[in-house]
Structure 1
């Protein structure tokens, strides 16, 4: 029976019913997008799923990329009076989208590709290490995982970019060189977590120590929660307008984007815009920690500069960038940029005099309504919050929440934050062209996770049974983090699904001239059959702080330098 299942056909249903006809989303879908998709988008690929997770990740990303394609095509129609023609999406190819940091390769001195390991000290000369607080170490790394609490419920700890507050809150030493084994590290942290009731440790981490973390919920529990109710009608993203009033080949060419973000989700938004031709200046602080393990993937198409917003002269430089920008991406915890004077309202007011609006995108975890707006959050936290982790353990026959293997919410979120945030920008650009105002776009990891849980869902039981059987029925535990899961799942996928997922035509070679490296990455998911749109990155990837924080006269320059 499982053999009769078709991933491309199921994806088409998700696009039609789960997006365009979804009553939760229809209020924010651009008029004409559904008609464009019906005319132009075609799905193909293997009938059987390949990624060994019960949630239908491949369908979600494929449908979201189709939605992105329809809104991009709509913008091209309105701006250039051009028809992009047929757009093909291979669902097997799309399955690679949420694992790109893990499957990237680098061309070695012998001219042959080999896996790129961003945590290998030998690669730091290519991508500098900004893990300033050793979050990848064994003991400190396991401050990000799920543990059982005293009342029998579980709690998802998260060490964020600095695990010191998490370990301190638990009464543990911030470092313990005596712990060298995985099980010993788990036991040490579990022994502390189980001294707390779940509600108490939730308050301790989120409200007192300002660290990410949540009690894993079923999807029913989340939707009945105060936060779930408050954000239910948000859809993929919310667009608000200010209260006061290129060629089709590279549809966003000339568009300037200031990227104020770290980690994965928000940087994925600006990366998608760069792929469409936008010029992106990413700005981080020189002393801020960052997830440099994904910079080889997330920083394609972007210049990367440093500014210290504690310094008046650096604030002036950021205002100079914003004064010429069309889009700002804010990926920090709500309120952080407001504290420095660069919140949405301040930017809207400052650019009013220039005569054209700006799109200001904000991304958070929990959504922009309800009691958890202020909380810090990551993809794993969103999975736990919205029932995704609970669904994964049930599929494996266990009774404990387990984080699914891949960072689906980060990417799906414009890959969903990473696809939906991008779509929100495209939608905002259409409205800006028609109305001449500034627009705000708000999106959240939970906006994707709730859509996945409610509108995409899990594989039918027989399809999941077959998929799980084909991958040796691997079972994970609540305390096993992604790093440990990857070591099991990725080799199995290369062995069992290599001919389906890792087809040579799905990949391309990219040169990163700024760092003197050549990589192999998956090609853009959207394939325009008539070559009417050319998706690529004009600027190679790099680490943080390489470029000067100014807009260059030539937007095709590889490295931005200050004119002497």
Structure 2
């Protein structure tokens, strides 16, 4: 295939746009091949790379110019390849073939919205009595909902992603907004906050958030982000970023259970995963690992807010316990889980668990004592180092920082600098599969080379990778073709991601009605659980990686238990 010619600057400084369109399945394969080359330690077995088959419609189903669908599909392809490598280490004979449906991969970022319970769907499913409300009112009123929006500032042409986090009151107060103010609508609340943000320069807002320890970001262009010290720091790291932990070289290889030792033919059968995380990205990783066969225990704290809809999808295949680190007995329980885990997924701010005594240091110490290495993954906003590394951050913040919101706003015809969210929790869910690739790579290398391994996956790192010149962006006529096909509702700077993703799903539904059994109406993309705690028929999006060759029928990823609410299990120990 001839190299793609790209034009710089169509969607702002540092953007690189294709001059010819490549169908999504073909583009997914190209990105897979390039990612394989760019990922240290990735397989050189060409048969495994050639064995990945991408199928689906030629046109993306995600609005905007970013190749999120193809890029995410490629990441799932990487996971499928590593799954085959692990199966071979376990003694299974595999075909080496992986199938990724790119239409399903396009729906993957909308996972939290793709839920049906006994025929009910959409926002009303959150009224299900089994769904515990965990958001602590973070988006309960118009002004709190609009604490997570993109606003103009006093700096001409520079907008700012405000983010109220899961506790918007102090953040709103910090800029002079009464968090208890009442407004008749989200539009009214947005206009009120907008008047106030326009009294601050963009730099003043950024510095205020840094000083107070709050999330938020200037809406950078891609070039603007790479011009910052943090952007340059993060760019030094590969996307799939992990290393053997220092001073653990003497720890022997930790073999995967053989087919005789564990008949479960999914790749990660017998692997124990401890998930210390909230909201979407890291929990998505845990859910993918569970589908790959891992035993996943999620630790929640009932007094901490969380993303309520995630209980219906991102808890598939897991158990969940409630621990309070203010209690000695709960600390002991957590330490025992750390001591037994093969994998620890840490999705809180970098260093926050370390300060509580439950970070990587403890995991490495306990792994050394048991003489079996541990895999430790940090998932965060800004990466493993640099002066923003310990800042709090969210999907929307990463979208703004790396330049994703900038190029989307530009593609939708807004003035230079005005950001618009990329419509779905794309960087959240995609960082989930990126994190799973990271973890599976480390488990494979622990089995081959011994030692303990640590890695980091970052939301902003994912966003920045999708904007690099080797990836490219869709040209304006393709953006229009996508819009013409799906007739998405207008997307603007004020909208919350929850509003956006339900609107996207509705557009897919309407298209599926016109087109037949495609996208949201294609039952091949779903899995059903009977008699879950939520109802007699719970339907959610199935794992994206599929091993469709008959030789691998027992190895294809699947969940063996339905999603459960946070803090559902009274106790849990690894199987």
Same fold, judged at TM 0.5 (above): yes
Q: Is the 8 A contact 1:5 1:463 kept in 2?
A: no
Q: Is the 8 A contact 1:264 1:294 kept in 2?
A: yes
Could you state the TM-score of these two structures normalised by the residue count of structure 2? 0.88
Q: CA deviation at 1:536?
A: 1.4
Q: Which residue does 1:110 correspond to in 2? A: none
Distance change (3 Å), C-alpha of 1:495 and 1:443: same
Q: Which residue does 2:292 correspond to in 1? A: 276
Whole-angstrom CA distance in 2 between matches of 1:33 and 1:102: 37
Q: Does 1:91 align with 2:91?
A: no
In the alignment of these two chains, the number of paired residues is: 534
Q: Which residue does 2:24 correspond to in 1? A: 7
Could you state the TM-score of these two structures normalised by the residue count of structure 1? 0.90
Distance change (3 Å), C-alpha of 1:474 and 1:106: closer
Q: Is the 8 A contact 1:33 1:70 kept in 2?
A: no
Which aligned pairs between 1:489-508 and structure 2 lie closer than 5 A? 489-498=504-513, 499=516, 500-502=518-520, 503-508=522-527
Distance change (3 Å), C-alpha of 1:307 and 1:56: same
Q: Is the 8 A contact 1:51 1:493 kept in 2?
A: no
Q: Give secondary structure in 1 for the equivalent of 2:529.
A: strand
Distance change (3 Å), C-alpha of 1:55 and 1:501: same
Please, which of 510, 513, 523 is the counterpart of residue 542 of structure 2? 523
Q: Which residue does 1:548 correspond to in 2? A: 570
Gaps of 5+ in 2: 1-17, 251-261
- Shifted more, 228-237 versus 252-261: the winner is 228-237
Distance change (3 Å), C-alpha of 1:33 and 1:135: farther
Please, which of 438, 441, 458 is the counterpart of residue 455 of structure 2? 441
Q: Which residue does 1:168 correspond to in 2? A: 173
Please, which of 518, 535, 558 is the counterpart of residue 536 of structure 1? 558
Q: Which residue does 1:464 correspond to in 2? A: 479
Please, which of 425, 435, 450 is the counterpart of residue 407 of structure 1? 425
Whole-angstrom CA distance in 2 between matches of 1:483 and 1:344: 33
Q: Is the 8 A contact 1:212 1:381 kept in 2?
A: yes
Distance change (3 Å), C-alpha of 1:41 and 1:532: farther
Q: CA deviation at 1:78?
A: 2.2
Q: CA deviation at 1:309?
A: 0.6
Q: Which residue does 2:391 correspond to in 1? A: 375
Whole-angstrom CA distance in 2 between matches of 1:512 and 1:29: 43
Distance change (3 Å), C-alpha of 1:532 and 1:487: closer
Q: What is the CA deviation profile of residues 64-88 of structure 1, one whole-angstrom value per residue up to 9, with x for unaligned ones?
A: 1111111111121222252244322
Distance change (3 Å), C-alpha of 1:535 and 1:175: same
Q: CA deviation at 1:485?
A: 3.0
Q: Is the 8 A contact 2:274 2:341 kept in 1?
A: yes
Whole-angstrom CA distance in 2 between matches of 1:103 and 1:434: 38
Q: Is the 8 A contact 2:209 2:215 kept in 1?
A: yes
Q: Which residue does 2:345 correspond to in 1? A: 329
Distance change (3 Å), C-alpha of 1:537 and 1:248: closer
Q: Is the 8 A contact 1:281 1:549 kept in 2?
A: no
Q: Which residue does 1:511 correspond to in 2? A: 530
Which aligned pairs between 1:306-325 and structure 2 lie closer than 5 A? 306-325=322-341
Q: Does 1:189 align with 2:193?
A: yes
Please, which of 438, 444, 458 is the counterpart of residue 424 of structure 1? 438
Whole-angstrom CA distance in 2 between matches of 1:145 and 1:35: 46
Which aligned pairs between 1:255-294 and structure 2 lie closer than 5 A? 255-294=271-310
Whole-angstrom CA distance in 1 between matches of 2:503 and 2:85: 42
Q: Which residue does 1:57 correspond to in 2? A: 68
Q: CA deviation at 1:474?
A: 4.8
Whole-angstrom CA distance in 2 between matches of 1:10 and 1:534: 24
Q: CA deviation at 1:473?
A: 7.3
Gaps of 5+ in 1: 108-112, 556-564
Q: CA deviation at 1:307?
A: 0.7
Whole-angstrom CA distance in 2 between matches of 1:489 and 1:286: 31
Distance change (3 Å), C-alpha of 1:183 and 1:540: same
Q: Is the 8 A contact 1:512 1:541 kept in 2?
A: no
- Shifted more, 160-169 versus 464-473: the winner is 464-473
Q: Which residue does 1:144 correspond to in 2? A: 148
Whole-angstrom CA distance in 1 between matches of 2:44 and 2:211: 44
